[in-house]
């Protein structure tokens, strides 16, 4: 079957059972757009900015576990997409980005809308390809999907010159992929798993620390089974929320910079630590020297060998798929006669409960001004904890992590590694298209939402009934908080002056806008918004501009050096 390169691209997407492509047309990809027009198997979603295309594909991927797909043109189309690509790369999200390129003969000639897309994206992709022969398109796209989804997932970019997309060749989609230099380990080393199980059973102060790898590997049920088998405390990273039920009594909350007191203290003072699909990053353990000051044995399970002992030296490294390793660990423990030391574990839980007694998430509510924590608590109640929640980045993101309690994986969609403002709304679009009929809430701030607010137009075109909750404090809130704490209250360029009326702006896009100024109106507004199942509702909550996120671990400090309240500063 002889097809054009553009037709081959579309046929490849059909072979991969791609449901949605998020993109924006331009000269270098017009042949591909023409091929999309001639079929109806793959739906295209027209965003209003290429950054949003990648974020939307990202939101689709995070909530489904499937590979998200974005399509952008050359030059500014590709460079606009880089922020989305870097966001996915930092959080290990499987994406395939197809970018157009100037004709092959013009590459390197400073042609109109030419950039070195391969060079620009190399630091923030799992891999990238420049297709130089139309006969290579099918095999390259097959490789791209395979690379994106296997091992440690990530974004893969395929750059296709315009002339290549117009040339013709026979089409055959490969059934398998063989990459000599790429063979990710799936099964963990039996001896290491056995050693890890023994260490866990001998622990007196055990801790299970889990990250986004549990969610990406679809291993939440296995983690829950192991944790309940042992009876050990569990903490999630920001990316791992939902990987273990937040309502379970063994869950001690999120850890890290804005984690709970009990999670951070247990992490610091445990004697055996099981790290599952997490990477000990700076926002989790603070100062590595402070963390290393307390002796403990560390077991680290990760599919990516480069993540093990990268920041913290571990005692039992296990490279492999998280689900496969947990499966074998469960079998070993269940088959053996040994069980955890009940007396030691009881004493450890008594200590953890004492730390819990600090009630670090308590806040002073108000009848006069809306507290952001109250909004998030009510959101959780109104949605029964069943919503898909996306966020932008800042104080609102941390309050969302702290006060919306996730019992299921893939419900929490946030930019963890890169911290990308503008992520929330387009990610919500991808989540809503992936989960039609399910409630989707985008938690944002008046600063972040303006980064990609044009996507309200996309939401109107595709009738996406997202509920946007703007926690509007008239500041770049997290910047203001740091300026208050560490820069002598010098609020340099963090006050947002001349803000639009967001409710009216939403209405201008054809949606419903609400402005909420009284605490007594919060719950009613949320219930009204979610009653409107077929409409996007923008809720502009005018919150207390002085509210800060607590607890907090200052950058460069250790996990146990927490700021729990203003008097700790």
Is 467 marked active-site?
no
Is 294 marked active-site?
no
Nearest of 52, 123, 131 to residue 98 by alpha carbon = 131
Q: What is 489-551 written as a DSSP string?
A: T--TT-B--S---HHHHHHHTTSEEEEE--GGGHHHHHHHHHH-TTS-EEEEEEB-TT----S
Is 113 marked active-site?
yes
Instruction: Please state, in angstroms and as integers, the Cα–Cα distance from residue 218 to each residue in 56, 126, 243, 304, following that order.
Output: 21, 20, 9, 16
Kindly name the residue from 126, 162, 222, 378 that is annotated as catalytic. 162
Is 112 marked active-site?
yes
The Cβ-side half-sphere exposure at 145, using a 13 Å CA radius, reads: 23
Instruction: Output phi, psi for 176, to 5 deg.
Output: -135, 165
What are 32's two structure tokens? Answer: 């591909």
Is 15 marked active-site?
no
What are 193's two structure tokens? Answer: 């798993």
Q: 354, 262 in Cβ contact below 8 A?
A: no
Kindly name the residue from 478, 496, 514, 562 that is annotated as catalytic. 478
Q: Which residues of 108-128 are buried (b: 16+ CB within 10 A; e: fewer)?
A: eeebebbbebbebbeebbbbb
Instruction: Return the bridge partners of 159, or none.
Output: 99, 130
Could you tell me the maximum CA-CA distance found in the chain, to the nearest angstrom? 74
Q: 70, 98 in Cβ contact below 8 A?
A: yes
Angle between helices 220-230 and 322-335 (to 10 degrees): 30
Query: ∠ CA(343), CA(345), CA(349), 5° rounding?
Result: 120
Kindly name the residue from 37, 39, 112, 504 that is annotated as catalytic. 112
Q: Which residues of 411-420 are buried (b: 16+ CB within 10 A; e: fewer)?
A: bbbbbbbbbb
Integer Cα distance of 512 and 100 in angstroms: 37
Token pair 């049920």 is found at: 221
Kindly name the residue from 50, 324, 328, 446 that is annotated as catalytic. 50
Alpha helices of 336-476 — where are they, by DSSP H? 342-356, 372-382, 395-403, 424-434, 455-461
Catalytic residues: 50, 112-113, 162, 478
């Amino acid at each position: 079957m002889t097809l054009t390169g553009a037709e081959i691209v579309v046929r490849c997407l059909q072979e991969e059972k791609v449901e949605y492509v998020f993109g924006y047309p331009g000269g270098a990809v017009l042949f591909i757009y023409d091929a999309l027009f001639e079929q109806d198997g793959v739906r295209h979603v027209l965003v209003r900015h290429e950054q949003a295309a990648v974020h939307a594909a990202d939101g689709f991927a995070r909530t489904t576990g499937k590979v998200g797909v974005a399509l952008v043109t050359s030059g500014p189309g590709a460079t606009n997409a880089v922020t989305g690509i870097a966001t996915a790369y930092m959080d290990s999200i499987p994406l395939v980005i197809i970018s157009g390129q100037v004709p092959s003969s013009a590459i390197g000639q400073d042609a109109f809308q030419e950039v070195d897309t391969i060079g620009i994206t190399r630091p923030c992709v799992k891999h990238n390809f420049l297709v130089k022969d139309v006969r290579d398109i099918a095999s390259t796209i097959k490789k791209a999907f395979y690379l994106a989804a296997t091992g440690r997932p990530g974004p893969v970019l395929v750059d296709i010159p315009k002339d290549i997309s117009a040339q013709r060749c026979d089409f055959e989609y490969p059934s398998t992929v063989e990459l000599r230099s790429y063979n990710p380990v799936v099964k963990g080393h039996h001896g290491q798993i056995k050693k890890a199980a023994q260490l866990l059973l001998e622990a007196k102060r055990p801790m299970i620390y889990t990250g986004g790898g549990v969610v990406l590997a679809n291993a939440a049920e296995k983690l829950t089974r192991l944790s309940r088998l042992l009876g050990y405390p569990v903490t999630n990273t920001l990316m791992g929320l939902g990987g273990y039920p937040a309502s379970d009594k063994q869950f001690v909350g999120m850890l890290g910079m804005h984690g709970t007191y009990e999670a951070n203290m247990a992490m610091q003072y445990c004697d055996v630590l099981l790290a599952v699909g997490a990477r000990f990053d700076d926002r989790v353990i603070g100062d590595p020297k402070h963390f290393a000051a307390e002796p403990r044995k560390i077991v680290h399970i990760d599919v990516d060998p480069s993540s093990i002992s990268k920041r913290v030296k571990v005692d039992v490294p296990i490279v492999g798929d998280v689900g496969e390793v947990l499966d074998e660990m469960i079998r070993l423990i269940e088959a053996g006669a040994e069980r955890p030391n009940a007396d030691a574990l009881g004493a450890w839980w008594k200590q953890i409960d004492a730390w819990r007694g600090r009630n670090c998430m308590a806040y002073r509510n108000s009848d006069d001004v809306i507290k952001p924590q109250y909004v998030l608590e009510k959101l959780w109640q109104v949605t029964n904890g069943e919503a898909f929640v996306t966020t932008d980045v800042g104080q609102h993101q941390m309050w969302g992590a702290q006060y919306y309690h996730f019992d299921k994986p893939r419900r929490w969609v946030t930019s963890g590694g890169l911290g990308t403002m503008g992520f929330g709304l387009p990610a919500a679009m991808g989540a809503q298209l992936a989960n039609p009929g399910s409630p989707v809430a985008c938690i944002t701030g008046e600063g972040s939402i303006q980064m990609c607010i044009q996507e309200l137009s996309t939401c109107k075109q595709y009738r996406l009934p997202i509920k946007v909750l703007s926690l509007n404090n008239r500041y770049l809130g997290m910047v203001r908080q740091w300026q208050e704490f560490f820069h002598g209250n010098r609020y340099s360029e963090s006050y947002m002056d001349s803000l639009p009326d967001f409710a009216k702006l939403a209405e201008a896009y054809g949606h419903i806008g609400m402005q909420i100024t009284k605490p007594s109106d919060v719950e009613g507004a949320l219930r009204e918004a979610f009653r409107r199942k077929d409409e996007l509702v923008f809720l502009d909550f005018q919150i207390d501009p002085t509210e800060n996120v607590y607890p907090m671990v200052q950058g460069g400090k250790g996990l146990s050096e927490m700021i729990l309240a203003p008097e700790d500063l």
